Amino acid sequence: MGGELQRSIGVRYLTLRTPLTFYDERVESDLEPSEVALSIGQLYDRVDGALNEAFPVGEFLWVTGEISKISVSNGHCYIDLIDPTDRSRTPGTLSVKIWKNTWLTVFRSLSNEGVKLDKGMSIRILGSVDFYRPRGQIGFVVRELDVTQLLGQLAKARAELILALREEGAFEANKALPLTDLPLRIGLVASRATEGCSDFLGQLDSSLFAFQVVLANTTMQGQQCPSAVASSLASLCHVMPPLDLIVVVRGGGAKSDLAAFDDEELVRAIAKSSLPIWTGIGHTGDESIADLAAHLAFSTPTACGAAIAERVGVVHAHVVMSATKIARVARQQVAEAEADQRRRQSAVVALSSATLGSARRSVRELIERLVRASENTLARVRGDVDAAARLARVSGIDQQLGRGFSITRTSSGLVVRDPKDLIIGEELTTTFAFGSVTSTVTAVHPHVPPSQENP
């Protein structure tokens, strides 16, 4: 009975991420319900039998799909795969299991190539269909993962991103920023208390130059790394007073950690930075996309720190050399000046005896002429002073007011000399010899020369 039922049931496998659909080849209206109810175990026996017929034990299939969820527990890897071509609202999911022994081999293979399985990746796996009776769940047990196919996809996506960024000019934007010859204020994006951070700071410290470092403590691996680094770069660009240079460093580690520095968000953050950015990501022989976008890239944090110290050292050496040269020239000029002074002193001594007598006679004659000229000048000055005194006595303000003149001042005390300087409504005070009058400006009539009046 069971065998006949199995032979009468066909299995249609739509996609490996969609639950298996069983159908009867007979017309639905011809089917009659069985009078005997099946137990769950009996139902699962039939499902298991149908699966074994469709997918015989020992048969392995290649399956492709996109990772929608991945986790590792007790050494086993569990993945939910979906079909990226299925645009339905609730696409089916294929539960994939990679047992511990297989996962260790797969993980080592991926790590050696610098790849870490993550959500959104498309993978190609070899394995067998599995029916998990306790939950009535159809899944897939992986025997092998096609690393070559995955690497090809990642390499293609990476190449396409590099091409797009290069066409946008993202790789030249940061390189075009000017960098001072003396970068002493450094912004550091790194994970505190890691070897990479310590190696970089050690190079600055051993240089004995007075560096100032602003550390942005940032996670440098995992899914959060790209956005965390991008955020730190943006924050350091707004530090006041402005920094001279920003450095992104991390120590060595798994090759797969380098993938975080191929992230588009991180690379665009470097391209948009208002400050030059140097990288020392710690992967000798490998170049990330972030390295391509940086102002300068170094293979290790140590090399990056050494390059900064060397740049400052070059300026220091130039200053020391210039100062030494200036001091040498100054000493030479002082020596020459002292020698010239001694020569001049000798010449003066030699000439002084011969010219001293003549100079004394000339001085006496000059003094006599000066005395006579001073007496004449003094007489003229006395006359001028007397005339000025007489003029002052007759031209004082009180004398002018006594003659009938008046003085008009503004409220601020300024003497009014030109009606154009007055403002309508301004209060004026006019002073006479025997009192004053306060008035308000109601109109201003500037003086028009007769030659400009209308005929």
Closest CA to 179 of 243, 240, 241, 245: 245
pLDDT digits (tens, 9 = 90+) for 404-440: 788 888 888 888 888 888 888 889 898 887 888 898 9
Whether the bond into 19 is cis, omega within 30 of 0: no
Exposure on the CB side of residue 353, measured as CA atoms within 13 A: 4
* CATH class of this structure's domain 2-155: mainly beta
- pLDDT for the residue numbered 352: 67
pTM (predicted TM-score): 0.51
Closest CA to 59 of 126, 149, 139: 126
pLDDT range class, residue 285, cuts 50, 70, 90: low
pLDDT digits (tens, 9 = 90+) for 177-192: 999 999 999 999 999 9
- pLDDT for the residue numbered 59: 81
Stretch 26-47: mean pLDDT, rounded? 69
pLDDT range class, residue 24, cuts 50, 70, 90: very low
- More confident position, 215 or 454: 215
pLDDT digits (tens, 9 = 90+) for 323-347: 888 888 888 888 888 888 888 887 7
**Residue 194 and residue 280: Cα distance in Å, rounded?**
14
In this prediction, what percent of the chain has a pLDDT beyond 90?
29
- More confident position, 198 or 27: 198
Q: Where are the domains of the chain?
A: 2-155, 169-312, 401-444
- pLDDT for the residue numbered 314: 92
**Structural fold of domain 169-312:** Rossmann fold (3.40.50)
Closest CA to 71 of 118, 18, 113, 140: 118
Mean pLDDT of the residues in the chain: 81
Least confident of 50-59, 131-140, 209-218, 224-233: 50-59
pLDDT digits (tens, 9 = 90+) for 286-311: 688 999 999 999 989 999 999 999 99
- pLDDT for the residue numbered 236: 96
- More confident position, 36 or 200: 200
- pLDDT for the residue numbered 27: 43
Q: Please indicate whether the domains covering 2-155 and 169-312 agree at the CATH topology level.
A: no
